[in-house]
Amino acid sequence: QVQLVQSGSALKTPGASVKVSCRTSGYTFTSYTINWVRQAPGQGLEWVGWINTNTGNPTYAQGFTGRFVFSLDTSVSTAYLQINSLKAEDTAVYFCARDLYLSVAAPGYWGQGSLVTVSS
């Protein structure tokens, strides 16, 4: 079965970096894009962007360019989200999610979420 398992919670100080991992299994990793979605405490869902796992080409939503970086390690079927120069407002749960089907870009499989807390 399709599974996306994310790394655990992280507590970081402002200005530091964090790398969230999303390890996948149960399907061919390079066949489906991986989306990243942010949810600040008590807030709604915000699409951060997605990465084409076949080409490695990322697409970032406005507001997530520059400090947010998607990457892949196809040898271990894992996607990564790195956030540099962390700010307090980056505190949120970050989800990775896979398209439901090849023909359906709606994220149908989700990781459990990774809480990133930025505090001095």
Partner 1 sequence: DIVMTQSPDSLAVSLGERATINCRSSQSVLYSSNNKNYLGWYQQRPGQPPKLLIYWASTRESGVPDRFSGSGSGTDFTLTISSLQAEDVAVYYCQQYYSTPYTFGQGTKLDIK
Tell me, what amino acid is at 101? Y
User: Minimal distance in Å, beta carbon 37 to partner 1?
Assistant: 8
- Residue 44 or 66: the one with the smaller Cβ distance to partner 1 is 44
Which positions lie near partner 1, rule CB under 8 A? 35, 37, 44-47, 49-50, 59, 61-62, 95, 97, 100, 104-108, 110-113
Q: Which is nearer to partner 1, 7 or 16 (CB)?
A: 7
CA-based nearest residue to 106, from 56, 32, 44, 52: 32
Q: How far is the CB of 45 from partner 1 (least distance, A)?
A: 4
Tallying the residues shown for the chain, one arrives at 120
Least distance between partner 1 and beta carbon 76 (Å): 22
Nearer to partner 1, 50 or 70 (CB): 50
Whether 93 contacts 39, CB under 8 Å: yes
What is the C-alpha to C-alpha distance for residues 64 and 70, in angstroms, rounded to an integer?
A: 11
Question: What stretches of 2-113 adopt beta strand conformation (E)?
Answer: 3-6, 10-12, 18-25, 34-39, 46-51, 58-60, 68-73, 78-83, 92-101, 104-110
Residue 2, both tokens: 């399709």
Distance in Å, CB of 106 to partner 1, minimum: 4
Compare residues 13 and 42 and give the one whose CB is closer to partner 1.
Answer: 42
